Amino acid sequence: MSFGQSQWGVSGMALYVPTLCVELEDWCEWTGNPWRKINSVVGRSFRMPDHQENIYTMAANAVLRLILQNDIDPREVGFLGFGTESSSDNATGTVILKGMVNQALEAMDMPRLSRHCEVPEFKQACLGGVYALKAAVRWLAFDGQGKKAIVVCGDKAEYERGSSGEATQGAGAIAMLVEEDPKLFSLELRNGGNASDYRGFDFRKPFQRHFMEGYAIQARRMHDFPVFSGKYSMICYIEETIQALDDMLSKIGMAPRPFYHKVDGLFLHRPYHRMPVNAAAALYIWGLSRNEDHRGELREYCDAAGVDYDLVLAEMLGEHDLFQSVLSGNKNGNIFPESMQVVRFFRNTPKFKEVVQNKMSLGADLMMDLGNLYTASLFSWMAAGFTDALEQDIELHHKEFVIVGYGSGDAAEAIPIHVMPTWRDAAQRIQFRDALASKVVLNQEQYESLHDEYQSPELDYERRGRFEIDRVGNEMGADFQDVGVEYYEFNH
């Protein structure tokens, strides 16, 4: 199988996560949740920014690490794209990062990022980073010849204490060097697939929620808790990724079943450990319905699961409107009840492990300690996967993977990637484990104080080489205003 090979892609990656950490086994003791279930479904731990950190400091830290770890000449960077759903300024975005990074570069006696550098920001829930990466490749192909691009994805995933999402929190950012003749992997955009459909209240952050009764009643600070419906969001994720894969496979002229047998690996959007596993099982089962020659295998799974094959096929091949189904009273949005029973059965079969799950193993264990990074989740998993392959001495040269991004609300992208012969050197520069090495574990009182009041516990840890919020402006005069504007400093 060959997706072809483009001349643009990623040459380097660099991760930043905050130092403050919540161990989920401790969290289970505090909250009474079952550790065994949380560990298998969610992971082992997540990170939290302290009161001097935000999405801009985390993203700037990742960009600076990328420049230093890959010996990038900042003057050659003509595109700095930022994918996030956590930005706190509704007028300005990526240029804030540019200013911060230039501050650090000057402190190190290094050249600044080019004055002639585009600075767009991309927002579509967790898919913003994929859109930023595609935009970077398009920029290189058309008006950025001979230049380099940097894409950074970052977010702070926070949920109200006591909610079903609390265990799936996290924070961090990952930056990528994008250029012609990439060193790590190429992106085959011409064979990529996409899908989008408005899903109403799938997962939202409406500004109005901050002024309505009943929202985040425990919090004692300004917060960014999303409005979400867990079961509905899961169905939206699965259905939209199926549509994106269908589009991709139609472009490469391959049926789903042989594709899953031949592809070397899969990286999917990863809000928590179990989610991409469930989605991959659904992708395979739905794929069997797409070709008459492969429906015999689907029928076998239906029979073994005790589910009517004709009902399953009707669900999989029918036209559906998930949003309208909820508006009509189906609150959990599950319009595939029969099909999902088959998916659950298939997920526990040896065939699933052989054909699908084993192709999602690279980096999976490393990601158990990262938490949910929203836009950065997919690319962090890729960085963990390259790190894992390097440590296990697994050869990836010429391997073909597919990355699947998803953004609630609702859109998905499926893009083939081709691993380059120089991947080992590029993977060594990621320094993934080094990014996780700085860790201060919070106790219950410290966690709740930081979560509810944004009061950072008095913990002594190394802050050199990082950006911090120095102060927040409070002037609102006739001639000068900076109220709410954050000023940053770099601890050199």
469 CB neighbour count, 10 Å cutoff: 17
Would you say residue 44 has pLDDT above 90? yes
> With bands split at pLDDT 50, 70 and 90, how would you rate the model's confidence at 68?
very high
Strands 121-122 and 77-83: parallel
What is the pLDDT, as a whole number, of residue 200?
A: 87
Assign 3-class secondary structure to 8-58. Answer: EEEEEEEEECCCEEEEHHHHHHHHCCCHHHHHHHCCCEEEECCCCCCHHHH
Quick check: is 1 in a domain? Answer: no
Would you say residue 155 has pLDDT above 90? yes
Quick check: is 18 in a domain? Answer: yes
Q: Which two tokens stand for residue 276?
A: 């991409």
Residue 123: which domain range? 8-491
Query: Concatenated DSSP letters for 387-432?
Result: HHHHHTT---TT-EEEEEEEETTTEEEEEEEEE-TTHHHHHHTT-H
What is the pLDDT, as a whole number, of residue 29?
A: 98
Quick check: is 351 in a domain? Answer: yes
What is the pLDDT, as a whole number, of residue 457?
A: 65
Quick check: is 168 in a domain? Answer: yes
Provide the CB-side half-sphere exposure for 325 (13 A, CA).
Answer: 16
Would you say residue 148 has pLDDT above 90? yes
> With bands split at pLDDT 50, 70 and 90, how would you rate the model's confidence at 210?
confident
What is the pLDDT, as a whole number, of residue 472?
A: 93
Instruction: Name the β-bridge partners of 413.
Output: 194, 405
- Given a contact cutoff of 8 angstroms between Cβ atoms, the answer to whether 74 and 105 are in contact is yes
Q: Which long-range contacts (CB under 8 A, 24 or more apart) does 320-328 make?
A: 320/239, 322/197, 322/199, 322/232, 322/235, 322/236, 322/239, 323/197, 323/198, 323/199, 323/200, 326/200, 326/201, 326/232, 327/200
Among residues 3, 217, 18, 128, which one has the least CA distance to residue 409? 128
Would you say residue 412 has pLDDT above 90? yes
Would you say residue 2 has pLDDT above 80? no
What is the pLDDT, as a whole number, of residue 333?
A: 74
Tell me the average pLDDT across 49-76.
Answer: 97
Would you say residue 458 has pLDDT above 80? no
Residue 329 has phi, psi (to 5 degrees) of 120, -10
> With bands split at pLDDT 50, 70 and 90, how would you rate the model's confidence at 3?
low
Share of the chain above pLDDT 90, in %: 81
Looking at the chain, the number of H-run helices and the number of E-run strands are: 17, 17
Q: Under DSSP, is residue 106 helix (H, G, I), strand (E, B) or coil?
A: helix
How many whole angstroms separate alpha carbon 129 and alpha carbon 155?
10
Quick check: is 20 in a domain? Answer: yes
Mean pLDDT of the chain: 93
Find the largest Cα–Cα distance for the chain. Answer: 75
Degrees to nearest 5, angle at CA 135 with 428 and 276: 60
- Provide the residue type at 373 as one letter: L
How many whole angstroms separate alpha carbon 160 and alpha carbon 259?
40
Tell me the average pLDDT across 200-220.
Answer: 79
Return the CATH number at 285. 3.40.47.10
What is the pLDDT, as a whole number, of residue 219?
A: 66
Per-residue pLDDT reduced to its tens digit, 292-314: 999 999 999 999 999 999 999 99
Burial of 460 (0-12, 13-18, 19+ CB in 10 A): exposed
How many whole angstroms separate alpha carbon 371 and alpha carbon 167?
8
Would you say residue 492 has pLDDT above 90? no
Residue 417 has phi, psi (to 5 degrees) of -130, 155
Per-residue pLDDT reduced to its tens digit, 313-372: 999 998 888 888 888 888 777 889 999 999 999 999 999 998 888 999 999 999 999 999
What CA–CA distances, in Å, run from 156 to 28, 46, 107, 253, 274? Answer: 21, 11, 27, 39, 20
Tell me the average pLDDT across 407-424.
Answer: 95
Residues in the chain: 492
Tell me the average pLDDT across 155-170.
Answer: 94
Which residues touch 342 (CB under 8 Å, ≥6 apart)?
A: 285, 298, 301, 302, 305, 307, 312
What is the pLDDT, as a whole number, of residue 488?
A: 96
What single DSSP character describes residue 112?
P
Which residues touch 311 (CB under 8 Å, ≥6 apart)?
A: 338
Cα dihedral 279/201/172/110 (nearest 10)? 120
What is the pLDDT, as a whole number, of residue 214?
A: 76
Quick check: is 3 in a domain? Answer: no
Per-residue pLDDT reduced to its tens digit, 251-266: 999 999 999 999 999 9
Q: Under DSSP, is residue 74 helix (H, G, I), strand (E, B) or coil?
A: helix
Tell me the average pLDDT across 200-205.
Answer: 86
Among residues 90, 57, 68, which one has the least CA distance to residue 14? 68
**Least confident residue range of 97-106, 451-460, 481-490:** 451-460
Tell me the average pLDDT across 43-55.
Answer: 95
Q: Under DSSP, is residue 60 helix (H, G, I), strand (E, B) or coil?
A: helix
> With bands split at pLDDT 50, 70 and 90, how would you rate the model's confidence at 220?
low
What is the pLDDT, as a whole number, of residue 1?
A: 58
What is the pLDDT, as a whole number, of residue 221?
A: 66
What is the pLDDT, as a whole number, of residue 207?
A: 82
Domains in the chain, number: 1
Tell me the average pLDDT across 220-243.
Answer: 86
What is the pLDDT, as a whole number, of residue 4?
A: 61
Quick check: is 95 in a domain? Answer: yes
Residue 176 has phi, psi (to 5 degrees) of -135, 140
